[in-house]
Amino acid sequence: MRPTASILHLDLDAFFAAVEQRDKPSLRGKPVIVGGVGQRGVVSTASYEARAFGVRSAMPSHEARRRAPNAAFLSGRYDVYRQSSQIVMALLRELSPLVEPLSIDEAFVDLEAGGHDCRDLDALRALGQQLRADLFERTEGLTASVGIGSSKFIAKVGSEMAKPNGLLVVSPGSEVEVVSPLPARAVPGVGPVTMEKLERLGIKTVADLQRAEPAELVREVGRTWGEALHELAFARDDRPVSPHREAKSISIEDTFETDLTDRPELERTATRDAAIVADRLRRSGQFARTITLKVRLGDFTTWTRSRTLNGATDSTERIAQVARDLLAALDVREGVRLLGVGVANFTQAAQEELFDLEGDQVREQDVVTTSLEAPPVRVRGRGGWSPGSEVEHPDFGRGWVWGSGLGRVTVRFETRLTGVGPVRTFRTDDEALTRPEALLPMTWDSPAAEPVEA
């Protein structure tokens, strides 16, 4: 923990949903839910208007529809989200050379490394307010919550307490008082498993953690984590801001509307996903030695197969072939609910010449799950027009898919620049309706580095 409030944490508010509301004027002020749009989908982000109905991230889409039946359910536009994220990360790098992106919508900033006077709390508040104003202008309407404190833990607590669209500077010396009433899950690294163990000890809040005996925590969660929990409960956190945080893996998953038993279709999905993963891998400037296939059956039995190569690759063909080979070894006659392809074990150089299929190592893992895990990236249906996706028409201009079915697609023609636009319906095979070749330019479009993959 530092003697000054010199670490800033920024978290974009309901990021995906906020981008959709910005770009679709007819949805502003209304409940918007981004994620899987089918019955098997999972909510990725819900606008604050949707959260008022109890909709939350990682909630099954069918439950979200029950709670907010009149909300707009959109499939997501990840290139657009990445565009706005780049603008935000570039703005943060104007404050300091030490910026640590945690994901596409949040980051830590070392203000001391940027030469700011971190002893002056009023100056820090002014800096935070100016940052939020600049962000709103450059992203053309997005908002963020900002926390500033003496450590990463305290800065993140500050941004959480400031939500939505607020700022909190935690004065040095007040950290323990600030964190004591918070739930124990506010401590970094405390997830459902750890929380269940802590509740067995009667620990529900950070104050309870502070009163717990260190030996008791060590006995329940292990020495390393138990000692760390005790330190964090008193806001003792010396983790530095690390600007070169690297992705540990890159992956994509598809959840299907109905269980798939057709092996050629599953192979096509694996090939398509491998191409997306390989593209992200190449853009990261890395090569992968481990390729993973994940298959979940209709009864939620989950199989994970990984092959570690003798070399490293960023080849679409190589990744796709390994994914198909791993799929070929699985019995999918009962039907596949989810399929995913991923890469890991990164290196900075390719070693294609060392590939030897006989020498590749295969790791297998069979897991039986009883509940949904992390939300998948996409939900694949049978139609060609996903709700929320961008379209273009020679007469009406650019717009977005309101909905489709029964051979028809309904489009609202509007952008963030036009105001609320008209609605028109077309045949799904209408050749005049096309997908735009490029994103709408942003006023502050930036070539900043790509956001970190999870």
Q: Angle, to 10 degrees, between the axis of helix 15-23 and the axis of helix 78-95?
A: 110
Beta bridge partners of 43: 35
> Is 106 known to be catalytic?
yes
Distance of CA 74 to the CA centre of its chain: 16
With a CB cutoff of 8 Å and minimum separation 6, the contacts of 422 are 396, 412, 413
Q: Which of 100, 106, 414, 453 is catalytic?
A: 106
User: Which of 131, 187, 198, 132 shows the shortest CA–CA distance to 156?
Assistant: 187
Q: Is the peptide bond before 183 cis (omega within 30 degrees of 0)?
A: no
Largest CA-CA distance found in the chain, in angstroms, rounded = 71
Half-sphere exposure of residue 22: CA atoms within 13 angstroms, side-chain side? 21
147, 154, 172, 174 from 177: Cα distances, Å: 16, 11, 11, 5
Is 218 in contact with 231 (CB distance < 8 Å)? no
Helices (H) and strands (E) in the chain, counts: 13, 18
Burial class from Cβ neighbours inside 10 Å (0-12, 13-18, 19+) for residue 122 reads exposed
User: Which of 153, 136, 217, 212 shows the shortest CA–CA distance to 187?
Assistant: 153
| Residue 409 per-residue DSSP state | E
Dist. CA 282–CA 12, nearest whole Å: 27
Dihedral over alpha carbons 174, 178, 181, 185 (to 10 degrees): -120
Residues that are catalytic:
106
